[in-house]
Amino acid sequence: MPTNRLEAATAAAWRLHDPALPAALDPAVLAKRLRAGSIPRALRRRALAGGPQGTIGIDDEQVSLRTLHRQVESVAGRLAGIGAGPERPAVLAAAPSLDFVRCYLALLALRCPVVLANPAATGAELAAQITRAGVSVALTAGQASDTVADLARLGTPELAAPQASAKRPAAPLAHVPIEALDSLPAASRGVPLSQLPRSSAVAIYALTSGTTGVPKLAPLRHGDMEASIRAVMAAWRWRRSDTVVHALPLYHQHGLGALHAAILSGSSLHCGSRFDPERLVAEAKRRAASVLFAVPAMWERLTDAHSTVEAPSLRLLISGSAPLPAALFERINDVFGQPPLERYGTTESGLNLSNLYDGPRQPGGVGFPLPGVEIKIDSQTGELSVRGPQVFGGYAGGDTLDADDWFATGDLAELDPESGAVTITGRCKDIIITGGINVLPREVEDVLGRHPAVGAAAVVGVPSARWGEEVTAFVVSAGAFDEEELRGWCRRELSGYKVPKRIHAVAEIPRNSMGKTMRDRLVAWGLAAAAAEKPQGGPGSD
């Protein structure tokens, strides 16, 4: 039972998302219900169920969940023969394909923790992930196969002797290109039900986004992932008849979550191996899709490529993984005829907040705590912390949660005192301190983004001898603009100290694979530009 105002408000938010929840709700009971099993156990149940089956498709290849389960059993037997199993992590580096899906699910069934790697990662990046996670098996395709083969040929020490543990002695890395799996002998005919992973077992080692430093390895348990997806399935009124389309990478939780949802609910997923705005909309129409997942950078290209999208089957447009600018929110509404639903989560804590399916969707806001999630906002710093069955237990070989299981997200948030809705205002590390005063980049970016000549904008603090940091904007032009006119535009809505001292025109905003702005790169650009200008007056001269 709620014991204070915050707990009462949180429980009320859970029921806004899921009206079926009882008024007198024990959070511990809800948590246990949300994280009750694992994806491999859910796939086994789906395979044994009668009636119509959902399908999983990548590009033009698709299989039913029942067929997928049979294929996963076969792959698991082959992977067991090369040493994949408990205490023997595997790295999986490949573009989206059904072979990727089969390998991923087979590794999970074997209780083999999976390191999901960007298939375009460099040799140094892959070697670092392999050694940090103590990887024993590498499954690759395309460029990643060549990268790992080159590392092995060069005798990279990390590949010769992955880290050992008390239960697993060191052994050479077993590297198998995915296309060669069929040539491997099977060590077994599948995985007995009794040996399938339970909720407490580690499922994957996820890499944090790495936008401000070296990515960390976050061990995510089966129960963490299941709780995250079950919460949004309730909040978004997920049905067995739903079909999701997206073109997101499967090494990231956003794209992978749709696969988990399809397995848990028996619904369908169709994923493109690469993003093309025309093809994605065509696929949504061809499949009569009901749900479309994309990140803001994709939504930007989708709305640039289409003036109107007639897709009556679409009931839900999901945006996440990076902030959705208010101007882009309105463009999506205009083009698709419905507002997007923005949600919030982190690699470490899963999905935590969402706008309401049946309620108003606030541009720039991320809504209310999902079922099972508790939140708090530090009164001094504004940092958001979350707690719940979706949250991981701590980094590999590093920091853990606090004594009360709160995870500090590093994001700044504001709570609407009337509605209780949450708005993410930025990252703690991204705050610009200019002349001793704090500036939130997103506030300035939103103002710039409303100018008709601005296609996209990013704002950072560039070190300055005069100001400490200078508010510096990088703008992708949607038309001719004058720098001083843009500053005047900002002054209409912003205090003087928030107005960019420098505005640079760029061809594109640098982003990582999930559309998050790479602010460290922008700071480097700003420093280079300031150095080039120094003979004309030096930093802060304007």
Global pTM value = 0.83
The answer to whether residue 528 is domain-embedded is yes
For the chain, the average pLDDT equals: 87
Q: What is the mean pLDDT of residues 257-275?
A: 96
Provide the residue range defining the domain that includes 489: 431-536
The answer to whether residue 468 is domain-embedded is yes
> Within its chain, how far is the Cα of 65 from the centroid?
24
pLDDT at 203: 96
The answer to whether residue 466 is domain-embedded is yes
Q: What is the mean pLDDT of residues 144-166?
A: 63
Q: What is the pLDDT of residues 37-60, one digit of tens each?
A: 899 999 999 999 878 889 999 999
The answer to whether residue 457 is domain-embedded is yes
Q: Reply yes or no on whether the pLDDT at 208 is more than 80.
A: no
- Give how far Cα 40 sits from Cα of 33, 151, 260, 265, 365, Å: 17, 32, 10, 13, 34
pLDDT at 536: 42
Rg (CA), the chain: 24
Q: What is the pLDDT of residues 485-500, one digit of tens each?
A: 999 999 998 888 899 9
pLDDT at 187: 76
pLDDT grade, residue 451 (50/70/90)? very high
- Give how far Cα 464 sits from Cα of 33, 120, 469, 501, 538, Å: 53, 35, 5, 11, 9
Q: Reply yes or no on whether the pLDDT at 184 is more than 90.
A: no
pLDDT grade, residue 9 (50/70/90)? low
Q: What is the mean pLDDT of residues 304-328?
A: 92
The answer to whether residue 400 is domain-embedded is no
375 forms bridges with which residues in the sheet? 386
Q: SS3 for 164-180, per residue?
A: CCCCCCCCCCEEEEHHH
Return the closest-CA partner of residue 326 out of 362, 364, 371, 369: 364
In terms of DSSP bridges, do strands 55-58 and 268-271 run parallel, antiparallel, or are they unpaired? parallel
Q: What is the mean pLDDT of residues 389-408?
A: 83
10 Å Cβ neighbour count for 153?
A: 9
The answer to whether residue 192 is domain-embedded is no
Q: Reply yes or no on whether the pLDDT at 69 is more than 90.
A: yes
Q: Which of the two residues, 161 and 31, has the higher pLDDT score?
A: 31
Write the CATH number for 457. Answer: 3.30.300.30
Are 208 and 118 in contact, with CB atoms under 8 Å apart?
no
Q: What is the pLDDT of residues 347-363, one digit of tens each?
A: 899 999 999 999 888 88
Q: SS3 for 249-280, per residue?
A: CCCCHHHHHHHHHHHHHCCEEEECCCCCHHHH
Are 85 and 108 in contact, with CB atoms under 8 Å apart?
no
The answer to whether residue 438 is domain-embedded is yes
pLDDT at 419: 84
Report the domain count for the chain. Answer: 1
The answer to whether residue 470 is domain-embedded is yes
pLDDT at 238: 96
